[in-house]
Amino acid sequence: MAIKTPSRSRFRPLQGVDQSILDANKSLIDEIDRRKILRGAVSLGALTMLTGCNVTNQDAVQSVLKAVSSLNDEIQQLIFRPNHLVPTYTEAEVLKPPRFNAYYDVEDIAPVDGAKWKLELAGLVQDKKPWTVAQFAELPEQELIIRHICVEGWDYIGQWSGVNFRQFLERIGADLKAKYVSFRCADDYYGSIDMATALHPQTILATKYAKQPITDPFGFPLRLRTATKLGFKNPKWITAIEVTNTFPGGYWEDRGFNWHSGI
Ligand SMILES: Nc1nc2c(c(=O)[nH]1)N[C@H]1C(S)=C(S)[C@@H](COP(=O)(O)O)O[C@H]1N2
Ligand SMILES: [Mo]
């Protein structure tokens, strides 16, 4: 009896793209999948973010797929424009409440007790004194109304505020020449970003959504919000931050997703 092997390709259709375009570009899509640059579905929004090109029409799809298939982390890092600002939106466009996602269902989240919570600091940081919720509340706030793009193929506009990450890193005496900033979370999630992204003017440690404290599903009391990265590069329920030159990886990156995953 023949054993049916599951299809090797886990690539599901790009949202908003005609099946005929996908058929015509099948080899490129397979190539992307083979290199595990992207796994699972990918939206046009995600492609736009990964490539920095606005993927709005059919002609653009092929060139963008080509671009993505040839990208690797090093190249993406080279084309990163440190002070290039990502589009922001108006309050009227903000989704309330935001859309939940994690590697488990919303019923399974374990809320963080703000009274007991502390942010631990490690690595190339001069002042490793842990931070409390009350101390974060005293920091100056920056607001970002930005698009959250999940690689699974959905997105929403969110309104986040909290301390500018560069300001926070300067305040704790972080070595801004180090390569990576890594995050540990109250769940088993972990992640990391390159220093250039950490220092980007639209990267914050968010404590509020739509001017109210972030609620449990969305990362209370502290999460990262960076405008230049896909959703999974924004850890929620952060418990520790480390500045390091040793590549830290991340939960999804260690399962095959592209580490840079941004512009
Ligand atoms: N700690 C933690 N952070 C996480 C995740 C997670 O499972 N655990 N999922 C990531 C993914 S894949 C996405 S799309 C966003 C979802 O954020 P939201 O629920 O605020 O929309 O959180 C990211 N940060
Ligand atoms: Mo995601």
pLDDT exceeds cutoff 80 at 3: no
Domain boundaries defined on the chain: 19-79, 91-255
pLDDT exceeds cutoff 90 at 170: yes
Interval between CA 126 and ligand 2 midpoint (Å) = 33
The pLDDT tens digits for 187-209 are: 999 999 999 999 999 999 999 99
Nearest CA to ligand 1 atom 17: 101
Interval between CA 2 and ligand 1 midpoint (Å) = 40
**Cα dihedral angle (146, 149, 150, 156), rounded to 10 degrees?**
60
* Pocket-forming residues, ligand 1, beta carbon under 6 Å: 98-103, 148, 150, 185, 187, 189, 218, 231-232, 234-237
Interval between CA 160 and ligand 1 midpoint (Å) = 14
Give the mutation target among 232, 238, 258 for probing the ligand 1 site: most ligand atoms within 8 A of CB.
Answer: 232
Ligand 1: atom nearest CA of 237 is 1
Band (pLDDT 50/70/90 cuts) for residue 49 is low
Q: Which CATH superfamily is domain 91-255 in?
A: Oxidoreductase, molybdopterin-binding domain (3.90.420.10)
Report residue 103 as tokens.
Answer: 């590697």
72 vs 108, more confident:
108
**SS3 string of the chain?**
CCCCCCCCCCCCCCCCCCHHHHHHCHHHHHHHHHCCCCCCCCCHHHHHHHHCCCCCCHHHHHHHHHHHHHCCHHHHHHHCCCCCCCCCCCHHHCCCCCCCCCCCCHHHCCCCCCCCCCEEEEECECCCCCECHHHHHCCCCEEEEEEEEECCCEEEEEEEEEEEHHHHHHHCCECCCCCEEEEEECCCCEEEEEHHHHCCCCEEEEEEECCEECCHHHCCCCEEEECCECHHHCCCCEEEEEEECCCCCCCCHHHCCCCCCEC
Ligand nearest to C-alpha 215: 1
Nearest CA to ligand 1 atom 12: 232
Ligand nearest to C-alpha 206: 1
Q: Please tell me the distance from the alpha carbon of residue 117 to that of residue 106, in angstroms, as a whole number.
A: 21
Nearest CA to ligand 1 atom 6: 102
Nearest CA to ligand 1 atom 1: 236
Ligand nearest to C-alpha 151: 2
Q: Which of 207, 252, 192, 182 is nearest to 117 (CA)?
A: 207
Interval between CA 98 and ligand 1 midpoint (Å) = 11
Q: Indicate the average pLDDT of the chain.
A: 82
Band (pLDDT 50/70/90 cuts) for residue 40 is very low
**pLDDT of amino acid 5:** 33
Interval between CA 46 and ligand 1 midpoint (Å) = 15
**pLDDT of amino acid 166:** 98
**pLDDT of amino acid 259:** 81
Nearest CA to ligand 1 atom 19: 100
Interval between CA 102 and ligand 1 midpoint (Å) = 5
Band (pLDDT 50/70/90 cuts) for residue 28 is low
Q: Please tell me the distance from the alpha carbon of residue 232 to that of residue 259, in angstroms, as a whole number.
A: 10
Report residue 187 as tokens.
Answer: 């769940």
Q: Which amino acid is at 241?
A: I
Q: Please tell me the distance from the alpha carbon of residue 183 to that of residue 244, in angstroms, as a whole number.
A: 11
Please count the other Cβ atoms lying within 10 Å of the Cβ belonging to residue 121.
20
Report residue 66 as tokens.
Answer: 């080509």
Interval between CA 46 and ligand 2 midpoint (Å) = 10
Nearest CA to ligand 1 atom 20: 218
Q: Please tell me the distance from the alpha carbon of residue 216 to that of residue 213, in angstroms, as a whole number.
A: 9
pLDDT exceeds cutoff 80 at 22: no
**pLDDT of amino acid 14:** 47
pLDDT exceeds cutoff 60 at 88: yes
Q: Which of 60, 65, 148, 63 is nearest to 99 (CA)?
A: 148
Report residue 201 as tokens.
Answer: 């003017």
The pLDDT tens digits for 113-163 are: 999 999 999 999 999 999 999 999 999 999 999 988 887 767 899 999 999
User: Residues 68, 37: contact at Cβ < 8 Å?
Assistant: yes
